[in-house]
Amino acid sequence: MAGSKEEFMVYNSMSRQKEIFKPKVPGKVGMYVCGVTAYALSHLGHARAAVNFDVLYRYLQHLGYEVTYVRNFTDVDDKIINRANEVGEDPLSLSNRFCQEYLKDMGDLQCLIPTHQPRVSDHMEHIKDLITQIINKDYAYAVDGDVFFAVEKFPNYGQLSGQRLEHNRAGERVAVDSRKRNPADFALWKSAKPGEPSWDSPWGPGRPGWHIECSAMSAHYLTFNFDIHGGGIDLIFPHHENEIAQSCAACQESSVSYWMHNGHVTNNNEKMSKSLGNFFTISEITERYHPLALRHFLISAHYRSPLNYTVSQLEGSSDAVYYIYQTLQDCEDALSPFQEGSLKEGTEKNDRTVKITPAAQECISKLHNEFETKMCDDLNTAHILTGAFQDALKLINSSLNLLKKKQQRQQQLLMIQSLVELKKEVQELLNILGLLSSDSYSEVLQQFKVKALKRAGLVEDDVLDQIKERTLARKNKDFAKSDQIRAYLTTKGIALMDLGKETIWRPCVPAGEKPSLPNEQ
């Protein structure tokens, strides 16, 4: 699956429309994404931002770009200090602990490691230098050890959010301060308070405000001119609006080409957030569901749309990914007896490669075109694993059935080569979406089964005992009992499949009301 021939369109929050993506430097992309404030375990909202921008990162690489991806950690902040005081821990120690937890979650979700992952505490000199530049250009003023940005000095304030200056609040993370020239002015530097971490500065000991850190770190790693700045939609105001003001104040030529924002995750259609207490942490979900199922769920809606969390959605994603991996495992098993040598024998005969079937060729072409068309349309991952992708999985399964039948050598080679190419195309698509695990297919399938048993409150021996009971019931022609056992396990998310004389089980979406087992009546 080579890079797309179509033009890559992205929605720019600044222009409020889709635009053709053209990097400032041909072949290279600079991308900065606002990371987490590390004071607690990360939740689904954080997972969505990370996964969506990871898909963008992967797709840009697929298109052939050399990408410098920067995602920061805020490890100096009011919320961190407050939490540290509550638990009696050093603020930097606490934030470091949650940074590590976040990195573990990102690894579980198969997010690629960004090029740089800077922390505020490591960039104090860059932050202070940037504040100095802003003061020297008369866009900021110092009062009693604090430094405030003078919003009225920046005529374009509000260009990203569309909020007029007279309607702006002081900011979500700072209280109104009578020393400000304008209530909308925001802190670049906060003077030290007892019991808080602080750093020396030209304005006295203190620590940076929330907004200045991203301006300083993005400029340090990507200069004041770069391609993409991303984050959650809730960051448009005040955070990203203030970033623009700071960066342009320090450097008149400062410019971000594309501002990209992902939508909220909702729970029962209410925004999921720590402050509302209606969130699930990433680790809470991956404890019960495979991380690949969570990733599948997170890309099942367009990144700019709201995504409503429900257990049934997650169950559906889990089932979908299991089916994908089972198909790939079956394909691998079927192809393994045919050594590479026998494939070469067919492919190199008369110096001509063995063709694939017209059905496989059409399927691959359709899958490739549908994938690229959707991805080039502002990363439209919604339904990308339906349609042509499902057709490809069905064709693999029907081809596997045909391969079991006796046929001429040339016909067999044709079928094998078709399966090889279909599998390759499916794998590459999954890899771009971050759904291709480094573990073997069989290992992933086993991991899904372990999670399914955990959700069902069973161990595998329980299921095997039920299978034995059912086999005995069928032998005794007690089909009512047999059906009852199958129905009971299905409500637990366990499906039984009869393969000849053998019965195996696999995870499934739990169905219906829980019936009782025969011995529970």
d(CA 503, CA 521): 25
Residue with tokens 């200056």: 165
Q: What pLDDT sits at residue 405?
A: 85
Please give the Cα distance from 36 to 71 (Å, whole number).
9
pLDDT attached to residue 238: 96
Q: Is 447 exposed, middle or buried (0-12, 13-18, 19+ CB in 10 A)?
A: middle
For the chain (length 521 residues), average pLDDT per consecutive 10? 76 98 98 98 96 98 98 97 96 98 98 98 98 98 98 96 68 67 96 95 98 98 98 97 98 98 88 77 97 98 96 96 98 86 50 77 97 98 95 97 86 94 98 98 98 97 98 96 97 96 96 55 41
Residue 409 pLDDT: 86
The pLDDT, as a whole number, for residue 518 is 46
Buried-exposed string 411-433: b where 16+ CB fall within 10 A, e elsewhere: ebbbbbbbbbbbbebbebbbebb
- Which pairing describes strands 270-271 and 307-309: parallel, antiparallel, or unpaired? unpaired
Write down the pTM of the prediction: 0.93
Q: What is the CA radius of gyration of the chain?
A: 28
CATH architecture of 9-135+211-287: 3-Layer(aba) Sandwich (3.40)
Residue 198: its H or E element: none
Residue 514's region, left for phi above 0, alpha for psi from -120 to 50, else beta, is: beta
The residues spanned by each domain of the chain are 9-135+211-287, 312-344+352-433, 457-507
**Which residue, chain included where needed, has tokens 């199958």?**
486
Sequence letter at residue 121: S
* Residue of 10, 1, 129, 107 lying closest to 50 (CA atoms): 107
Peptide bond into 197 cis (omega under 30): no
Rounded to whole angstroms, what are the CA distances from 199 to 118, 134, 216? 18, 19, 16
Q: Residue 351 has what pLDDT? A: 41
Give the three-class secondary structure for 517: coil
Note the pLDDT of residue 170: 44
pLDDT at res. 128: 98
Cα distances (angstroms) measured from residue 41 to each of 37, 85, 102, 127, 387: 10, 17, 7, 27, 36
Beta bridge partners of 74: 37
